[in-house]
A and B are shown apart, each in its own frame.
Chain A
Amino acid sequence: MRNPYRTERIAFSLLFLATLLIVVPVGLIIVIIIQKGLPAINWQFLTDIPRQGMRAGGIFPAIVGTIYLVAGAILFALPIGLFAAIYLSEYSKDNFLTRLIRLAIVNLAGVPSVVYGLFGLALFVVFFKFGASILSGSLTLGIMIIPVIITASREALESVPYTFREVSLSLGASKWQTIRHIVLPNAIPGILTGTILGIGRAAGETAPILFTVAAFYLPQLPKSIFDQAMALPYHLYVISTQVPNVEEKIRYGTAFVLVALVLFMNLVAIVIRYNFRKRKKW
């Protein structure tokens, strides 16, 4: 007869193995990037322009470009995303329109990133004639991260207890006053978490900026939002596939800066979430 306890032991070992198959490579990737990338990091690498066809010098313009792009994307996406989340959590009824909005958000989150690139090219670069510029790139990235911000903000707003709203309304506050002074302040940490995750996502994406903003090699800082700019993820793509004979150190260094930036954002989001959960009053 088959022994169910032996079957269980075998099954659990297989499950553990599957888990190791994911976690060990993740650990290895991080270790490789830190081990080979960290030695390349120094003040000059972070603050100098790329020199000798990107085979020497630093990555300063790419860092600045990414910061501009991400700032632009957030300026555009945060108000729309936050207001949309307020609509969904405070105003919407359970009807066909709401279901349609939810479906649209799911789809917006699932559109392949390169399709966002095509869309940005057709709408902002060609149709609105913004050209390949920081403006086009920021707007494209902004639309891409709207679903991230809506989902996180909505969850934060909905987790504010209903009684808070009832008390405020019973004291004669209007609906908007209740949202503005009671619901929003209590949802700020969740909204912040969503925004930071959106920043991390926007900073790491390459495909949406390929045809909307990214400059192959531009050894100066952009002067206006109608200029092209370099960006970290695209720079890493360029020096690892398009330019021959780039020193390994520079590639790993660029990868390290990009990963550090994105993971730092995620870490901040996790810390905010953790602190908020600890201090939660309800």
Chain B
Amino acid sequence: MRKFKEFIIEKLILLSGLASIFFVILIFLFLLKEGLAVFNIVSPFNFLFGRSWYPISEPPQLGILPLILGSLLVTVGAAIISIPIGIGCAIYIAEVAPLKIKEILKAGIELLAAIPSVVLGFIGMVTLVPLVKNVFHLPTGLTALSGSIMLAFMAMPTIVSIAEDALYSVPKNYKEGAFALGATHWQTIWRVMLPAASSGILAAVMLGIGRVIGETMAVMMITGNAAVIPASILVPVRTLTATIAAEMGEAVVGGEHYFALFAIGIVLFVISFAINVTADLFLHRRQ
């Protein structure tokens, strides 16, 4: 009897172990099931590179190029802001900060990671958006730039914690060797620590960017939601994620619009899959 009970439990454990694989496949299959139907209406090329997104006009125009460019613009902006600051902060925490301050800083970063994105979006709306509007004398502060700044903050916890881990796991004798040769602390960091931790830092940057591309609520609240090809970083844009979140409520289940939004979901899934697999390879090479 006990043997039988243990047999059942061990099978359950095995099944749960396989559950993650099962869920990833299930997510992909259901996105395909609902999304591929859009290609009966529009060719994959015209879907990805079509210049106009008017999903409820007659006939609907389902080109997601404006959305892809919107996502790209906001992401590049966020990357330019968050990568140097994030890596700088990671080096400061890992190498320069005194022990007590280090713990406080790490807690602060964890705090930032824990704040829900809808709250950051709300705070961005009431503080950052008016600021951008006044500084650049714009008709509206709901712009790609506001989105980039806000998203940079959401990417930083990921970048800082993974890059700090990477620096921390550089073997101690590398550092001691550099010191023994008379290098200053900064020379050691710049010429020895950073190159040794480079693949981990690269993974940190990639995962940070992955977080930015997938972020939905904050970006929907502060980028202005205009589905047109952006002319500059100071105009409203709309990202892939925000389009799904904003329009799914109005789409009819089984309609063209509904299929098109799921097809955008497929694009996002594929991008995040590629980023995570590559980042994982980099993280593993380090060990």
Contact = CB atoms under 8 A, between A and B. Distances in A.
A23 B114 contact: no
Interface in A1-45: 4-5, 7-8, 11-12, 14-19, 21-23, 25-27, 29-30, 32-33
B119 A15 contact: no
Query: How many B residues touch the partner, as a band?
Result: 35 or more
Given A22-B112, A121-B248, A106 B280 contact: yes
Interface stretch (B50-58, B59-67, B227-235, B264-272): B264-272
Contacts of A234: 118
B17 A147 contact: no
A115 B240 CA distance: 11
B197 interface: no
Contacts of B33: 122
B12 A22 contact: no
Given A4-B184, A8-B186, A22-B156, A122 B221 contact: no
B253 A84 contact: no
B116 A262 contact: yes
Centre residue among A19, A119, A255, A259 by max chain B CB count within 10 A: A19
A19 B23 contact: no
A91 B272 contact: no
B91 A15 contact: yes
Interface string B92-111: 11001100000001011111
Contacts of A255: 119, 122-123
A69 interface: no
B184 A110 contact: no
A240 B269 contact: no
Contacts of B262: 118, 122
A101 interface: yes
Given A118-B265, A176-B9, A83 B17 contact: yes
Contacts of A21: 85, 89
Given A15-B88, A26-B111, 5 more contacts: A19-B93, A87-B14, A204-B117, A236-B119, A258-B116
A116 B160 CA distance: 26
B17 A88 contact: yes
Centre residue among B16, B85, B160, B214 by max chain A CB count within 10 A: B16
Interface stretch (A51-59, A163-171, A206-214): A206-214
Given A4-B186, A15-B92, A110 B12 contact: no
Contacts of B190: 11
Interface in A117-138: 117-119, 121-123, 126-127
Interface in A150-173: 150
B135 interface: no
Interface in B1-47: 2, 6, 9-10, 12-21, 23-24, 26-27, 30-31, 33-34
A92 B91 CA distance: 36
Contacts of B139: none
A269 to B, nearest CB: 10
B82 to A, nearest CB: 9
A111 B114 contact: no
B251 to A, nearest CB: 9
A263 interface: yes
B214 A233 contact: no
Nearest to A26: B112
A211 B34 contact: no
Centre residue among A27, A119, A203 by max chain B CB count within 10 A: A119
B66 to A, nearest CB: 18
Contacts of B213: 112
**Chain A interface secondary structure, helix, strand, loop or mixed?**
helix
Contacts of B27: 111, 115-116, 119
User: Which 6 pairs of residues, A with B, have the shortest CB-CB distance?
Assistant: A112-B214, A204-B116, A18-B88, A87-B17, A83-B16, A8-B186
A80 interface: yes
B93 A101 contact: no
Nearest to B125: A240
A11 B96 CA distance: 11
B268 A112 contact: yes
Contacts of A237: 118, 121, 217, 221
A103 interface: yes
Given A18-B85, A84-B20, A91-B14, A25 B153 contact: yes
A112 B17 contact: no
A122 B92 contact: no
A241 interface: yes
B179 interface: no
B134 interface: no
A12 B214 CA distance: 33
B245 A117 contact: yes
B244 A174 contact: no
B165 interface: no
Given A18-B92, A119-B27, A146 B85 contact: no
Interface in A70-87: 79-84, 86-87
Contacts of B121: 237, 240
B237 interface: no
B37 to A, nearest CB: 12
B151 interface: no
A82 B149 CA distance: 37
